[in-house]
Each structure stands twice: as structure tokens, then as C-alpha cells.
A and B are shown apart, each in its own frame.
Chain A
Amino acid sequence: MTRLLGLSACAVALALAVFGAAAAVMGARLRRPELVRSAIAAAYANFALLLVANLAMVYALVTRDFSISYVAQVGSRATPLFYTIISLWGALDGSILFWGLVLSGYTALAVRWSRAEAGAVLPYALAILLAVGSFFYLLLVGPANPFGRMFPVPVDGPGPNPLLQNHLLMAIHPPLLYLGYVGMTVPFAFATGALLAGGLDDRWIRLTRRWTLTAWGFLSLAIIAGMWWSYEVLGWGGYWAWDPVENASFMPWLTATAFLHSAMVEERRGLLRVWNVSLVVATFVLTILGTFLTRSGILSSVHAFTQGTIGFFFLAFIAVVLLFSLALVAGRSTELRGTGRLEGVVSRDTAFLLNNLLFTAFTFTVLLGTLFPLAAEAVRGVKVSVGAPFFNRMTIPLCAALLFLVGVGPALPWGRPERQLLRRKFVPPFLALGLVAGTLLALGVRAPFTVAAFAFAGFALTANLGEFADGTRARRRAHGEAPPRALVRLVRSNPRRYGGYLAHLGVLLIALGITASSSFRTERQATLRPGQTLAIAGHVLRFERLWARQEPQRFVVAADLTVLRGSTSLGRLDPRLNYYAASAEPVATPAVRSRARADLYVTLLAFEQDGSSATFHAYVQPLVIWIWLGGAVIAAGALLALSQRRERRSPGGERLPAAAQAEAR
């Protein structure tokens, strides 16, 4: 019954999506608004249908209906209710089902929120969204059908992947990732929809920018949550391993970030139109490519649930999207020609062009490194690895340059700034840069990229805070407002601009956290008997005892450790090893003590069966917590920027009123 309900909901969704896509285009071409209205109705109905299908699956999971293939694949009677529910996105078929729900939700919201603004573009954008939707619904009734029939019905299942039922973040990271990933479909639909509709004006860039910003905010949070999960679950003391699945989530973030900046050049100067369309298309294609790479099993990875035919579907889909987009851009090349010009070489416009260059080179490097093992195997017949040492070597210089630009961009005014203004804007950041670099060198830090990262972060921090300070001062002078009030008014006068600077501050927190925790990391490994201690970076760990517990779905072995400073106890840590029936290797749960200054992180590596000794790996890493905090600040920045309902745009690429005010002196 559940099986039939879920499967038929997906089948009807597929039929409606195909119908809706055709109806929307025909309605626009033949000027038959009732056809467009029926396409809109189809979009809303699809959301309801996918909601039904997803709820049916959750019901099947919770009631442990092993006659349904997906439940038989990821369910087990021993798995706790919470992890049973979230195993909805724990394997391939279920995650496509959830993808369908998010996509149909975005489609409905895009229609609802952007209908008025999109105008003639809406039917075409809707057609694209429904066409993309029909691809995923096709997967659901075909190669990734989660509602397959199991006969004979198994008595029990293996349960979800042990790594995915070990931490609460598994309930947060995947939905955020889907909201970010799938959300990139909407800007793609508005961009290609605007090209299909023709008569291109600057409406398309506003629509795509807003929707990109929404998805980008979720994607930023998702990447940080993924790093946090990796840190809390995988037990290696790190948070980013340049694993293909991490790269897959990072590449669309890079291109989307590039677009959020270059969109401003188009809005102000009427330049870079083909480039912006390309970035939007690239972002969308990278989300699909990332899913293909990690879900088809072509590159082995934590998330690769190896499956048969689904890879071909994805490849064909990517080819269609690329050909379609190329044809559209070629067909509209005259309309896409830039109309404006730049006023000066030393200006924010140029900073944005360099920003785009670096982000593009970054994306290319990550993509090349991720795909290179496939190329090497095809060309040389030899398997090679491209891992963290390669990516660090190639991308750390790019990161340093981008960090510098985070400061240069906001400090450089638009247009053709005067020398005096430039001096006033750049003297404090450069002073901060020199101060930080000098201090670190005096303290004996010699690693060039550590010094550079901190110095550039100091530079950028001063520049971005300086923007808030300058604006506040200008308001104080103009309106006589007290500083806190002036700051709030300033931010509310141009949330988009200050949201951007706030996001910069988040990026800087993350950069500081990553640089500090990777440059000044201390680690020690030791085998201890009960009562013995391990000293690491000012902390002393005393091994008290080993204990074990049988839980319904796993067997847990844990060690009690007391954290000491001098002879005072600061608290307890209990790193664990979890043994699941489904996994040969135990899954470690590290114990983490997070403080603003540093994290103490301990994993249990091995133990004697009789509890007479245990081996631990301890890490002390400064400022890790700032990375997670930075993620929240980025999201707050995105939210602030989105709160600007109406775009204020002055013709001829002049400064915005608030901007002019802030830069008046």
C-alpha cells in the first residue's frame, strides 16, 4: 500500500512535470495564459506529490516495512527512531527522492515569490525547472526507484551506513547541502529562461543574484556543517581532506561566489553578461557533476553508493544541459554583448575581475585534481591519487591571494577614485598587515604562508571593519546620531552592501581558524595504563578506566580520561570505539573539548581486552571553533543581504546613495 502510494506519486509527478514544461512554453509562445496557469498548478501539485512520496518513505522506514527495497537496504530493527527517519537521505535512492522534494519545493517558491518580478521570463524559467524536475522524477520511477518490491520480504535489514548514524549533524548537514545544491537550479532556470524569452534586460541578473544568494547561503552552511561532522565523527583531528565528495560541494560554492561578485559589475556597468550566464550555468552543472561523481561510484568515496545505470543518466543529462546552454548563449550573442565601460584601472571593478579570475582558477584546479585520477587511468592505465598534499600546494597561494582581495575589494571605491581617498582607505589596512607580519616574524614564525595568511587576514579585517566605521562616522556627522544607532541605521540603509561585508568577516574568521589550527597543531600518541598520564600543550590527560556497553544497534567501548591543569580537574573526556555488525572496522567517536582559544581532541585508537592499557591520539588545535562560528556569520551576512527587498539602482553606473554617503569623506 505504502509502496503503491509512493511510486504512483512519483509517476504522476513525472507526468505533470513533462506536461507542465510543455504547457508553460506553449502558453508563452501562443499567448495562452491559461496554459501557463495550468503549468503553475502542475508545479504546486508536484510539491504536494513529492511530499506524499517522501512521507510514505518515512512511514515505511519507521514501520520497518522491509517489503520496500530502500527500507530493506538501509533499515534495521535495531536502529533508533531518529536515525531511522534521517536514513531517508542516507543512501542513493532515498537521497534522490529527497532531492525531488527539495526541487519541487524550490520550483513552487520560485513561482510564488518571483512571479511578478519575472514577468515574461516566468513561463520559460518554470519550464526549465519542471524539465530538470522530470529528469529526477524519471530516476525515481526508473534506475533509482526507492519503492522497489522485495520478495521474499526480509526479516531485518543491515541498517544505515555506520558513519551516517553516529552524529546529530547527519540530520543537519545533508538537508542544508540539498537546499544549497538543488537551489542552484533556480538561478539556472531564470538565466536560461531569460535567454529563451529574449528581450534581455537587467531583470535576469537581479533574479538570478537573489536566488543564487539564497542557495549560496545554504551551501556555505552545509559545507561548514560537513566539515564539523567530519571533525566530530571521522576521528582524524581534521575537518577537510580534499575528498572528492568535499570537492564536489566546494566547486559550485566557488563559482557561485564568483557570480555574486561579478553580478555587481553587470548591474553597474552592463559588462560581463556572457561571463555571468556562464557562471550560473557552470554552478548548476557542477552540482549535477558533483552528484554524478560521488553517487555513481566512479570515484570511490564515503558517499559513493555504487550503483549500475544511474551514472549514464547523469552523464547524458549533463551533456544535454551543456549543449542547451551553449546553444542559447550563441543564439543570443548580440543581446548579451556588453554595453558599458570602466572608468579607471584602479577600481573595485578591476578587483572584481581579479576575484573572478582567482575563483575560476581555483575551481579549475579542484576540478582537474578531482578528475585527474580518471584521466591518468585512461591515458596511462595506472591508478594515481590526487590528495591533500596536491590540493594544499596548489590552492594555498590562491587562498592567500583571495584573502588579500577580501580587503582590497571593499577598500577600493567604484569608478575612478582619487588618490587622496585611496590613501585614506589603504593606509590603515596596510598598517595592520605590517603589524601582524612583524609580530609573527618577531615571535619566530617562519612558514611563509602562515605569516601571509595572518597578515592578509589582518589587512582584510581592517578594511572591512573600516567600511562599517567610515559609514558610521559619516552618519554621525550628517545626522548627529550616536554610534550604535548610526551603525544600525547604516546597515539598514543598504543591507545588501553590509551583508556582503558581514559575509567577508565570516570568511575571515574561517581563514583565521583554518590557518591557526593547521599551523599550530600539536599532536601526541601514547599507550597508557590506568592512572598514567599524557601531557600535551599545557593539558594533562589521565587515563582512568576502560568500559564497554551493549546498545541495541552497536557495541561501545569507551575510555574515561580526566583533563588536568596542574592538579585541578577541568573535566572528563570519553573517546569511544563503536562496533557495528555492518562494518568490519570500528567507527571511532572522538571526544572534543572546544574552547575559544583551542580544541582538545582525543581519539581511542586501540585497547587491551582486559582494560589494562589503551592507546590514545590527542590533538590540541587553536581556534577551531572560529571556523564553525564563521559559517554562522556568513549565513547571517547572506540573510542580511537578502533582506533588501527593492534594489536601488541608479542609472549610468553611479554610486548608490548610501554608498556615496559612506564614501563622502
Chain B
Amino acid sequence: MSGAGAAARKARAARSRRRRVVRLALLALTGLISAPAAAQDTPPDLEARTRLVASQLRCPVCQGLSIQDSPSELAQEMKQVVRAQLAAGRTPDEVKAYFVARYGEWILLEPEPRGFNLAVYLLPVLALLAGLAVVGVVVRRWTRSGDVAQA
């Protein structure tokens, strides 16, 4: 029994390691992009932190606007909640988790980068890299001297 438990633990550890590797790879691929976001992760004053979290939450009664941008009353109230929770010492992730628990994942304007959602982050990068390879091959082929009329 304990052997099976250890195996399960090991598998879990491997899984979480794999997940970490995937996340790292994702981070590296979009490294340039996430750098500015990371730099803004903990702005000093409450207003700036509120803005940052509020711009990642969807206004439920608008057309894809964040509660930061939306002029609607509901969005204003939700932003108050964000501000109050941040002031009470909660981290941005905890505040977001609070809204996800109430509204579902839909409330996040950017899907969480894990599981199936990774596709939406990775596919464009992979497509770009594949395209780059194709362009490289094509340019090489088309510029090879003496070789006329290749597809």
C-alpha cells in the first residue's frame, strides 16, 4: 500500500515538475512579453494595484470591457471590492481567485495559462516559429545560384 502511495506521490511530483517545465518553457517563449508584466506585478500604491487587477477582470454586463475600463455601475462596485480586498492585504492572485469562485473562469479576461488553455498561448508562438523555418528554407532554395525555377 505504502509502495503504491509512494508511486502516486512520485507520479504527482513528476507531473508537477512537468507542469513547471511547461510553464518555464512558456515563460521563455513569451519571455519578452511577460517581462514588462512581471515588472508591474507589485506597484507600490493601492490605486495602481487596483487598476492592474481590475484591468484583468471582465465586466459582466459589458461587451468584453474590463471592470477598470467599464463606466457601468456594476463595474464600479466590483472595482470597489478589488480595492477593499487589496487594502486588506490580499494578493492580486487571491483577489482574482475570489472573483473566479463567484463568476467562474469566464471573469478573467485572460485565460489562466494551464491545461487546455495553454493552447491559446503556445499555438501562435509555434506557428510563428514554423513559419520562420519555412521562410528560411524557401529563401535558401530560391536564392541558390544556378538553380532556376524551383517551386
Binding site for B on A (CB under 8 A): 234-238, 241-244, 271, 300-302, 337-345, 350, 353-354, 357, 360-361, 364-365, 368-369, 372, 375-376, 379-380, 382-390, 393-394, 396-397, 446-449, 585, 588, 603, 605-606, 617
Contact = CB atoms under 8 A, between A and B. Distances in A.
Given A236-B69, A345-B143, A390-B111, A384 B105 contact: yes
A237 B106 contact: no
A448 B39 CA distance: 11
Those 9 A-B pairs whose CB atoms lie nearest each other, nearest first: A387-B109, A365-B124, A389-B110, A383-B106, A236-B69, A342-B142, A361-B128, A390-B110, A384-B111
A385 B56 contact: no
Given A236-B65, A243-B64, A342-B143, A372 B73 contact: no
Interface in B76-108: 76, 104-108
A385 B60 CA distance: 11
Interface in B22-77: 30, 32-37, 39, 55-56, 58, 61, 63-66, 69-73, 76
Contacts of B143: 341-345
A249 B39 CA distance: 33
A301 B116 CA distance: 24
A57 B33 CA distance: 50
A375 B115 CA distance: 13
Contacts of B1: none
Nearest to A246: B64
A585 B106 contact: no
B64 A385 contact: yes
A447 B36 contact: yes
Contacts of B63: 241, 243, 300-302
B4 interface: no
Interface of B: 30, 32-37, 39, 55-56, 58, 61, 63-66, 69-73, 76, 104-111, 115-117, 119-121, 123-124, 127-128, 131-132, 134-135, 138-140, 142-144, 147-151
Nearest to A391: B110
Nearest to A302: B63
6 contacts: A340-B149, A341-B144, A345-B143, A368-B120, A386-B120, A397-B33
Nearest to B121: A394
Contacts of A389: 55-56, 66, 109-110
A440 to B, nearest CB: 14
Nearest to A524: B47
Contacts, number: 146
Nearest to A244: B64
Contacts of B142: 271, 340-342
B61 A385 contact: no
B128 A357 contact: yes
Contacts of A302: 63
Contact of B33 (A339, A386, A396, A605): A396
A357 B36 contact: no
A393 B40 CA distance: 14
B123 A368 contact: yes
Contacts of A606: 73, 76
Nearest to B40: A447
A341 B148 contact: yes
A335 to B, nearest CB: 13
A389 B143 CA distance: 41
Contacts of B34: 393
B83 to A, nearest CB: 12
Contacts of B33: 393-394, 396-397
A241 B64 contact: yes
Contacts of B106: 382-385
Nearest to A341: B142
A379 B72 CA distance: 32
Contact of B120 (A344, A369, A448): A369
A243 B128 CA distance: 23
A414 B115 CA distance: 46
Contacts of B147: 341
A155 to B, nearest CB: 31
B132 A357 contact: yes
B56 A360 contact: no
A116 to B, nearest CB: 31
Contacts of A340: 142, 149
A2 to B, nearest CB: 34
B71 A617 contact: yes
A237 B51 CA distance: 14
Contact of A384 (B30, B108, B140, B150): B108
Nearest to B147: A341
Contacts of A360: 131
B36 A339 contact: no
Contacts of A343: 143
A364 B127 contact: yes
A357 B135 contact: yes
